[in-house]
Structure 1
Amino acid sequence: MGCGSGKVLPEASKKGYVSVVQSLVAFGKVRDDDDPKEQKEKRGGLWFSAGVDAPRLTADSQRQRRRERRRDGAAKYKDKFEPRVTARYDIKALIGRGSFSRVVRVEHRASRQPFAIKMMEVEAPEGREVCDSELAVLRRVSHANVIQLTEVFQFPQRVYMVLELATGGELLDRVVGRGHFTERDATRALRMVLAGVGYLHNLGITHRDLKPENLLYYHPGADSRLLVTDFGLATFTGSEVSETDGGNQSGGGRSWSLRTTCGTPEYMAPEVVLRRPYSCAVDMWALGVIAYIVLSGSMPFDEDSSTRLYRSIVRGKYSFHGNPWPSVSNSAKDFILRLLVSDPATRLTAEQASRHPWVVTMAASSSMRNLHRSISQNLRQRASRGSSRSPSSTAGPGDARSAGAGDG
């Protein structure tokens, strides 16, 4: 989850691809620590159906299978939990796994309120570093559109972070599941993301791994707030700027710089790819990529070769060709154009982006045409390309969260 000390940019075609396909597929996640049989099963969902004659699992049956696997996973890790933790929380299901962590759904024994606990292994120096960095950020944040840390249990071998439990699904899950999606729906989601990201930037925090699967709805209802989550790569410069990053924090964190090459390749800003010092403006580039995906179901920078991908990013080479772009307003395209700017100094800040006419008016002057069909088709096509790749050409999301030269 953290940034390593190697000097090689993350592989896009091999390591970043699965991470991107994950964010575009509404059912299940393929992880690098799943065995090949499980990966094949997870790819057998609705998006990967070979045709009408192929055996198909219903969404309900898939959810049931995932629930059973999570319960089994929870039982496996329950014994590892410290008694002081299990005395307060009842372990329910395994939610996810990372290089140094396991995330489980729990229930507070007294209030019966659900939470998520992130159990982090901190014996190894790398795990301790990742944990300390994430805690430094989470302990400082309190915003409706940012995941909230509730409680922390610290032990020599493990640290347990009790977090809000977001049950409404990922951003793209909601887009696909609605059956009807317009530009107004897109602005409603992006306004919440901008609110959360702007808050972080004003605190001097750069997320460094913004992508659709790290944007979760708090509950399944239509009025749910959208949360920025997963701060494994985030950095709070307030305490690090003089020692690590060599800059000065002012004006909402826009003048200091970072140097670590990390993140998910397809969402990396040009300055990160070029290994140049960068600021929180990298998050705004990632938001431009996210806006492009949300409105089209396609990636602005989508190459099989990592070399071609990075070249496209550095050149800022993308287009608004193909469906549904003819149905998307010029105002929405202008919003993306002002975020996917190669020069970070002229890229919109979170505050400026939240004041863009398309966002402020919630696409009032845009067509209310339903973009859902084209978005879904593009998502299915990309998922199909991902499923047709050989296992040797893919890797899990943990590998895509990558390494490079260290800060400072």
Structure 2
Amino acid sequence: MGCGTSKVLPEPPKDVHLDLVKKVEPYTGYKNDIYKHFIKGDGDAIKSAIPSPPCHTNPLVEQPEPRKNRVAKYRAKFDPRVTAKYDIKALIGRGSFSRVVRVEHKATKQPYAIKLIETKYREGREVCESELCVLRRVRHTNIIQLIEVFETQERVYMVMELATGGELFDRIIAKGSFTERDATRVLQMVLDGVKYLHTLGITHRDLKPENLLYYHPGMDSKIMITDFGLASARKKGDDCLMKTTCGTPEYIAPEILVRKPYTNSVDMWALGVISYILLSGTMPFEDDNRTRLYRQILKGKYSYSGEPWPSVSNLAKDFIDRLLTVDPNDRMTALQALKHPWVVTMAASSSMKNLHRSISQNLLKRASSRCQSTKSAQSTRSSRSTKSNKSRRVRERELRELNLRYQQQYNG
């Protein structure tokens, strides 16, 4: 949520940033397709979105490569087995080791997404193996489905369902009305998916609004859980405890921060954060300073002040409180959350007041401030480069001291 959020990734290797694809853009036809001038189906004329250069060009200046050649080179990256079965339509996302393209099955005309992962790099190979390990095991209506896989020596092509309905909060902003009952409908679908994952021994470890997508633009669309790049899959009989520090800062559970072995209850903490945002458009824990942010999380310090909280029911707040519990042993499981009275009754005893205006204003305000702070950080980055190593060491020392202090309290 917002353009300034970054992941905390698994520690080894420390110098690698796995920028996984966060969303799939909805396909609304070529009329509104921002990629329509980039790639079209085989046999279509390719027109440049950029005005043609003037006839008189300087022969000494190297001219841009014709768009047709660029498209041909792009298509050439795909294994012939893939292009024999699918028409490549558009690039819709990119990460450090991956590209995601919208494709169309030649026989059925069904749209899909293909995630192309470069496995010649060790890090890309590890991400690919982790994601495939999970997706090959799951079949659930609220989890993005893997259709088939093509593998070569240097690349893996994962054909997946294409979610065209957009991100959860984009839909809320566009909707015009949003009540507690709407929130419980969303959470029921997400909790169903999470309960299924936990039953299989799978912990997502990066649940957040950006990874919850609507399957199609219609009002009756289901929600789908996506992006399993940080997921952990355990077989029966395996030690259920995990130790890797990873996730997205604002959604990380306290036990991960104090470097204690943890369980799938970290997903439930993240769902508590999502529930809080869902009902207010604000974050329960937020600070541009990472150490202060972690201090808030470790204390479980959040409040219900400001709009629209006075209009939100006590039952909804109780639901959040039972998820944002610092001690993971006291935190609700997915099954317990599904049985919470607020969810079971679909907020029947709650106020049906439209929370949309406050939620939308808060979401848009936060997105704007995060984008501004990101731009500001980028503009001053060069002037801070000489101080970066020193400030990093200071932050690391502060975080170590903070972790030690709270670990002592936690164990006590």
Identity %: 62
Residues 122 and 159 in structure 1, CA contact (< 8 A), matched pair in contact too: yes
Change (3 A) 1:372 1:85: same
Write out per-residue CA displacement over residues 165-201 of structure 1, whole angstroms, 9 at most, x where no aligned residue: 1111111111111100000101001100000000000
* Inter-partner Cα distance in structure 1 for 2:73 and 2:209: 29
Cα offset for 1:301?
A: 0.4
Other structure's SS at 1:373 match: helix
Corresponding position of 1:3: 10
Query: 1:75, 1:313 → 2: CA distance?
Result: 50
Alignment partner of 2:373: what SS?
Answer: coil
CA separation of 1:61/1:156 partners in 2, compared to 1, >3 Å: closer, same or farther?
closer
2:314 partner letter: N
Q: 2:39·2:88 contact (CA, 8 Å) conserved in 1?
A: no
CA RMSD, Structure 1 to Structure 2 (Å): 3.0
**Aligned AA (2:129):** D
Q: 2:221 aligned with 1:224, yes or no?
A: yes
Alignment of 1:6-405 (within 5 A): 64-65=33-34, 77-238=74-235, 242=238, 247=239, 256-389=240-373, 391=375, 393=377
Verify the 8 A CA contact 1:74 1:93 in the aligned structure 2.
no
Residues 308/67 of structure 1: CA separation in 2 closer, same or farther (3 Å cut): farther
Cα distance in structure 1, aligned partners of 2:258 and 2:303: 22
Task: Judge which range, 222-231 or 76-85, deviates more.
Answer: 76-85
Deviations 1:319-365 (A, max 9, x none): 01000000001111010000000011110000000010011111000
User: 1 CA distance for matches of 2:111 and 2:153?
Assistant: 26
Contact kept, 8 Å, 2:185 with 2:346, in 1: the verdict is yes
Q: 1:391 to 1:66 in 2, by over 3 A?
A: farther
Q: Provide TM-score, normalisation by structure 1.
A: 0.78
Give the secondary-structure state (helix, strand or coil) at the position aligned to 2:182: helix
Gaps of 5+ in 2: 1-6, 41-66, 380-412
5+ long unaligned stretches in structure 1: 29-58, 248-255, 396-408
**Bigger CA drift: 258-267 or 70-79?**
70-79
For CA contacts below 8 A with separation 6 or more, give which structure has more relative contact order. 1
Contact 1:74 1:94 in 2 (8 A): no
1:202 to 1:148, Cα distance in 2 relative to 1, 3 A? same
Deviations 1:237-279 (A, max 9, x none): 118x75xxxx2xxxxxxxx110111111100000111111111
SS in 1 for 2:283: coil
Query: Between Structure 1 and Structure 2, whose CA radius of gyration is higher?
Result: 2
Structure 2-normalised TM-score? Answer: 0.77
CA distance in 2, matches of 1:350, 1:276: 21
CA deviation after TM superposition for structure 1 residue 64, in Å: 4.7
Instruction: Render the CA deviation track for 1:81-108: whole Å, top value 9, x for unaligned.
Output: 1111010000111111112111111100
